Amino acid sequence: QQQVKQSPQSLIVQKGGISIINCAYENTAFDYFPWYQQFPGKGPALLIAIRPDVSEKKEGRFTISFNKSAKQFSLHIMDSQPGDSATYFCAASRDGSSNTGKLIFGQGTTLQVKP
């Protein structure tokens, strides 16, 4: 129940196209869903995050869509650029009596945007 499943494992998109990465979770207690971007040799950097009380959140070219009933959420990168080529991780965490905020990560998606 603690898993977050991410797909696809890798993705190749043409410049200007839309990149879509999907995640699914089992634990309905999760209530915070961030996406991270990681470049080689760097740590994960927070891109955008969503909570279950909204179905969509947009920041620039990045949009999270959230489907609470299906227990799925996805990252859309509009007008994908070669500079977006990186590994993307979805994650989930929950508040609760333990109050930790520890993140459970998906396995990652390697995105390549071709010029």
Q: Which is nearer to another protein, 17 or 94 (CB)?
A: 94
∠58-61-66 over CA atoms, to 5°? Answer: 35
Is 11 among the residues that bind another protein (CB under 8 A)?
no
Q: Which is nearer to another protein, 77 or 108 (CB)?
A: 108
Query: Phi first, then psi: what are they for 84, rounded to 5°?
Result: -85, -10
Q: Whole-number minimum distance, CB 21 to another protein, in Å?
A: 15
Is 54 among the residues that bind another protein (CB under 8 A)?
no
Is 24 among the residues that bind another protein (CB under 8 A)?
no
- Burial (CB < 10 A; 0-12, 13-18, 19+), residue 4, is buried
Is 37 among the residues that bind another protein (CB under 8 A)?
no
Among 51, 58, 68, 114, binds another protein (CB under 8 A): 51
Return the number of other C-beta atoms located less than 10 Å from residue 78's C-beta. 13
Among 19, 63, 74, 93, binds another protein (CB under 8 A): 93
**Cα 46 from chain centroid?**
10
Cα distance between residue 32 and residue 34, in whole Å: 7
Positions touching another protein (CB under 8 A) are: 31-32, 34, 36, 41-46, 49, 51, 89, 91, 93-95, 98-108
